[in-house]
Every structure is written in C-alpha cells, then in structure tokens.
Chains A and B, each alone.
Chain A
Amino acid sequence: MPETASPATRQTLRLGVAGPVGTGKSSLIATLCRELAGELAMAVVTNDIYTDEDARFLRSAGVLDAERIRAVETGACPHTAIRDDITANLDAVEDLEEEFAPLDLVLVESGGDNLTATFSPALIDAQIFCLDVAGGGDVARKGGPGIGRADLLVVNKSDLAPHVGVDVDLMVADAEKAREGRPVLALSRHDAASVARLCAWVREILAAHRGGDHVPQDPGPMAPHSHGPDDHGHGHGHALHAH
C-alpha cells in the first residue's frame, strides 16, 4: 500500500478540468488526448452523475486506449468527489499511474457542477476551469473561485459566439479582469490556433510541475476577497500568450 508520491517527487502531472455542465469539458479532454497522446503518456479519470457517459464518449472518440479511461461514481455529489472526499478519484488516479507507469499526464474530469466547484490540491496539481460562450457573456464577470483562481480559464466554443450574441473579446477581457493576470484562453476545437495555445499551456505547466516551479493552488470555495498591495499569495501566473 504505497503512499501516493508527493507532487515534488512525482513526474506525472495531475490536471483537473472543472466547470458547469455542458461547457465542453469532455470535448476539451478529447482534444487534449487527440493532440498530445502522441507525445505524452496519458490517462483520464471521468466523474459523471450517471457513471460512465463521459468515459464512453471519450472511448468512442478513439483518442486514447479505452483501458486508460476510468469512470468514477460520485454518489450524485460531483463537487464532493473533487474536493471534500477525493478518495474515489485518488484511488483511480493512483491505479492508472501504477498500471501505466510512467505517465506524463493524468486528466481528471469533474462531473459538471456549479460555479463554486473546484478541485482540492490534494487531488490535482493544476486545474482548468471551463466556461462556454453559450452559457452567457456575463458568466465570467460573475466570478467565483474557479473563474477567478483556476490555473487556466477556458472560454470554450468561441466559434459559437456570433450565434449566441456574445462578444468573445469582451468576455475574455471580463475574465482577465477577474483573474488578476492569470491566463484566459478563448478556445474552439475548430480553431487550430486556439488548440495549439491550449496544448502549449499544458506543456508549460507540466514542465513547471517537473521543475518544481509550480505549487498546486487552491482556488477555494469562497467568493473572491479583496487583495491588498502586499498580497503575494497567487503569484504563480503561467504566461499564456494572447487570445
């Protein structure tokens, strides 16, 4: 029964993907698998309200060997499974890391939840929070721990913006304002340049993790608090070049 290796000694990056239902988390993960599985040894853990829908989607997408995709039941509490009681997810992550060692990247997809659901740093090393333009242009402005302090905020389905009356640039600008310099990425899987930026960010955070330059951050469950001039608690922004 080996203890899980601490982030400092573990080569594998555990990357969480959280965000509301329907914003494209599974699609984002499928995109990452499609783009990166050739260069990185990867595995995926999915959490679903109804078990294995997301795992099946990923398996049917054919972007990763089916046995590298595990579904975890959350007892109808997806937020609990990534934050308050991470046991089932941690077990699945450790099993995958052991069975397919050495892995470079394990992606953990949260079951879609509300804007306050974020991963515990005890489960993942870094996290992406995923919104989409179809959820409304004002969501980024509403804020919340994931929007404000996840390692990367993705504004997904940017290609749909004209059809849902959303100004992507404005939505990204709102998000950047709420994130105090942390990166924001407007993403569409049909926009190769945006996909390339996403992959570049993942490579960068993997390198930072391995170099000991990345410390897992807890976005926290609380509403954003005000930051004084001496606040240096979040000084970990990994540069992401434009959108």
Chain B
Amino acid sequence: MGEGTGELGALLLADARLPTGGHAHSATLEAALAAGLPGERIPDYLSARLRTVARTEAAAAVLALRAGLDEPVDYTTVQAALAARTPSHALREASAALGRGLARLARRVRGDHPAVVGLSTAAQAVPGLRPMRPVVIGALGAALGMTEAQAARAVLYDDVQTVTAAALKLHPGDPLTTAQWLLDAAPDIEASVRAAVATEGPDDLPARSAPLIDQWAGEHTYATRRLFVA
C-alpha cells in the first residue's frame, strides 16, 4: 500500500518547499516576539513547544495514522480528542488551515486511498472545524506507508522549522544558527517521538497545551501589520 513511498513521504512532509501553506505560519513566534519574548530565547521557545503543544500534536498524528489503516477509517475520535486538547480557538483554526492545505495535497496524490477518503469523518467530528494538521499528516502517513515514528517526527520537525524560518523574517540573525537550534533540539524531538509512538489511544493523548502560547495566539488574531497568519 505504501508502494515504497514511506521514506520519501517522511522527507516530503518535512520539506519547507511543500506547497501546502506553511510558509505563512510562524507557530505563534510572531506573537511571542511581539509580546516581548527576547530573540535570544527562541531556542527555549522551541523546547517549550516540543514538550507541550508539539508533543500533543505528534501523538495525535500517530493515532490518526493508526486510524487511517483501520477498516473502516474513522478519524472522529482523534480529531475530537485533539480539538479538546487545543483550547485556543486561534490555534485550532491555524491547525485546520494547515490541515486544509495538506488535505488538498492528499486528495491530489492519494485521493483514492481509504485513509484520505476517510478524512471526511474528521471534518464531521467537530462542527465548523476542518481536519487539523496532525490528523491529515497521519492520514498522509497511512496513505504513503510511513511509520508512526516518521509521522511523529515530521510533525515535530515541521514545528521547529516553522519557528526557525519565521525567526529569520522576524528577528535579525545568522540563518546557519537556526540549523544549530534544530540539532540542539534533538533530545526534545526524540523524546516526543517516543512518547507519541507509545500513546495507546485517544484517552491517552497528552493534554499539553501551553497557556502563554494560547494567549499569544489569541492576541495575534487581532494584531495588525503582521507577516504571518498564526
């Protein structure tokens, strides 16, 4: 079913050139800096995300991947569980916007795969909320034959690189430094990969929201003169 695309899928989902809308997102970094986060503390911001919101999302992607391989495919529970663990309206909307772009990609490249067709169940789980990014990444992971660890790591890697790419637009710095930030985050990333893969079911999904990130994301909704949508 993966047709040997698992390894490539992992690279594809991690590629900043993937045309699914990610370039207009900062993973709330723009709002964090606007609220006074010193640029020197961006690595701490990365670490905080990897231990909170990103860990929850990585685990949700793993659950979605498993659901995508079930028969019949049903993402209702994982979408609802993830939405319940994303208390910020702004962050749910940002995740749904990214999920929308990824779903368009999924329909284009694997539109007939049950894991992709089944995304309609996620769309019905929470009224008014499109399938969130981790759910669609899980669906793509299932359709492309990725492993659970690959799907989880794709979520976490993308989270870090969304911040680092935005940082270069928002804060003066050497682009090469951001690669160091990523590699320095390896222990946090791998710990969250292990935790994600060990997640047994939706009831077990970590509820690790970060109140300050929630607040910043909400404030950003009303900010004018912003570069990034979220």
Residues of A within 8 A of B (CB): 1, 3, 49-53, 72-77, 80-81, 84-88, 90-91
* Given A51-B224, A53-B225, A85-B20, 13 extra CB contacts under 8 A: A1-B100, A1-B119, A1-B130, A50-B224, A50-B227, A73-B229, A74-B23, A75-B169, A77-B24, A81-B24, A85-B22, A88-B97, A91-B101
> Chain A residues with Cβ under 8 A from B24's Cβ?
72-75, 77, 81, 87-88
**Main secondary structure on chain A at its contact with chain B?**
loop
Q: Check B120 against A87 for contact (C-beta < 8 Å).
A: no
- Which residue of chain A is the closest to B21 with respect to CB atoms? A87
B93 to chain A, nearest CB (A): 12
Q: Check B20 against A87 for contact (C-beta < 8 Å).
A: yes
Give the docked Cα–Cα distance between A88 and B18 (Å): 13
17 A-B interface contacts by CB (under 8 A):
A1-B123, A50-B226, A51-B227, A72-B24, A73-B229, A74-B24, A75-B24, A75-B26, A77-B23, A81-B24, A85-B18, A85-B20, A86-B19, A87-B19, A87-B21, A91-B100, A91-B101
Give the docked Cα–Cα distance between A50 and B227 (Å): 6
What does the 1/0 interface line of B116-145 toward A look like (CB < 8 Å)? 000110010000001000000000000000
Tell me the number of A-to-B contacts counted with CB atoms below 8 Å: 71
A172 to chain B, nearest CB (A): 36
- Which residue of chain A is the closest to B20 with respect to CB atoms? A87
- Which residue of chain B is the closest to A86 with respect to CB atoms? B19
State which residues 162-192 of B face A: CB under 8 Å.
166, 169
Given contacts A1-B103, A1-B123, A76-B169, contact A88 B227 (CB under 8 A): no
Q: Check B21 against A1 for contact (C-beta < 8 Å).
A: no
Give the docked Cα–Cα distance between A209 and B184 (Å): 53
How many residues of B are counted as interface, with CB atoms below 8 angstroms from the partner's CB atoms? Answer: 28
Most buried by B among A49, A52, A72, A73: A73
> Chain A residues with Cβ under 8 A from B166's Cβ?
75
Q: Does B228 contact A (CB under 8 A)?
A: yes
A-B residue pairs, 7 tightest by C-beta: A87-B21, A85-B19, A87-B101, A75-B24, A73-B229, A50-B225, A75-B23
> Chain B residues with Cβ under 8 A from A74's Cβ?
23-24, 227
- Which residue of chain A is the closest to B120 with respect to CB atoms? A1
> Chain A residues with Cβ under 8 A from B123's Cβ?
1
B2 to chain A, nearest CB (A): 23
Q: Does B153 contact A (CB under 8 A)?
A: no
Give the docked Cα–Cα distance between A81 and B24 (Å): 8
Given contacts A85-B19, A91-B97, contact A73 B227 (CB under 8 A): yes
> Chain B residues with Cβ under 8 A from A73's Cβ?
24, 226-229
Give the docked Cα–Cα distance between A75 and B229 (Å): 8
Q: Check A76 against B227 for contact (C-beta < 8 Å).
A: yes
B106 to chain A, nearest CB (A): 10
> Chain B residues with Cβ under 8 A from A85's Cβ?
18-23
